A = this chain, B = another copy of it.
């Protein structure tokens, strides 16, 4: 089977057992923790008068959530942004908000639309398309939000699937435990993708507009090998290898399957942003889960981890291997996770979540 274009593979839609809706509490907590940061950011850094004036014709503010999936997380994030903006205006001014919910064309927009909050104070719209390309007219958005999405790359780098390349990633589905060339190819693809992302947003965000990113990245001072999620993906990869050994799927299919996501360091992210040059970094800091959650990822049960991985990866796996392997794969994965040291060994660190607030520089 051909390598999966991520273009067509968002998280699971609907609201079933393995839906993103029911398996994104980790992301939801992150969005919750980021709420206060976004509230402060809008209060301190968003110059509403630049876009709205009682005399001017313009009375609307446009907000976009990129990689929104199907809710409820996107609704929580958007509601927080709207409330933060409403604080900036006296009730006399009739400001209107338009919210653009974006995700891949194959995202389950039907479910998203049906679950829109009834009491929302905004006009809702859906925007289909990958965020590495342009999605909106020039300077038409005032606030962009994007959480748990920028680490997804537009594709797996070609070299990694090329038998004749030193970056060939045979028998693995992630980049951290292979030859250094695999990691390098991933890092280069990530940089290229973030450059495209920033280039598109620089055109779409009005000058003075804000962009709040929540990006999973490596904990400070840790390597990709120590990243618990990458280690877990290693376990998932080993299940695929086992299944190939048992003849349940082809070795070739395992060799050509790779996860198109990358956990950058804070340093890597900052340097792409600076090189792009269109945005000032107004704030950058790690979400402090320990303070509010008391331990995070490490305490999660193998069954929850399996469901969470499945809600995000099922589409990719189905497209590459076929639907029939999915149940078996994830039940193996859950079992192996129970036996694995990833959850108990303190050398493994959860990814950090980096909150980055950017402002579109005035041209």
Contacts and interface: CB of A to CB of B under 8 A. Distances in A.
Interface in A123-161: 123-129, 134-140
Given A110-B110, A127-B124, A128-B124, A136 B98 contact: yes
Nearest to A114: B105
A341 interface: no
Contact of A138 (B59, B105, B134, B138): B59
A109 interface: yes
Contact of A125 (B57, B106, B116, B125): B125
A237 to B, nearest CB: 31
Task: State the copy count for this chain.
Answer: 2
A208 to B, nearest CB: 12
Given A123-B134, A125-B127, A134-B123, A139 B109 contact: no
Interface in A79-123: 96-98, 100, 105-106, 108-110, 113-114, 116, 123
**Number of chain A interface residues as a range:** 20 to 34
A109 B116 CA distance: 14
Contact of A116 (B57, B128, B139): B128
A60 interface: yes
Contacts of A100: 125
Nearest to A115: B105
Given A59-B138, A96-B137, A138-B59, A109 B106 contact: no
Contacts of A96: 137-138
Interface centre among A98, A125, A129, A140 (most CB of B within 10 A): A125
B128 A98 contact: no
Contacts of A108: 110
A10 B129 CA distance: 24
Given A96-B138, A137-B96, A140-B98, A116 B105 contact: yes
Contact of A60 (B98, B113, B134, B137): B137
Contacts of A109: 109-110, 113, 126
B137 A123 contact: yes
B140 A60 contact: yes
A263 to B, nearest CB: 30
The 3 closest A-B pairs by CB, nearest first: A60-B137, A113-B128, A96-B137
17 contacts: A59-B138, A60-B137, A60-B138, A96-B138, A97-B137, A98-B136, A105-B113, A106-B110, A108-B110, A109-B109, A109-B126, A110-B110, A113-B128, A123-B135, A123-B136, A124-B128, A125-B125
Given A109-B109, A113-B126, A124-B128, 4 more contacts: A60-B137, A108-B110, A109-B110, A123-B137
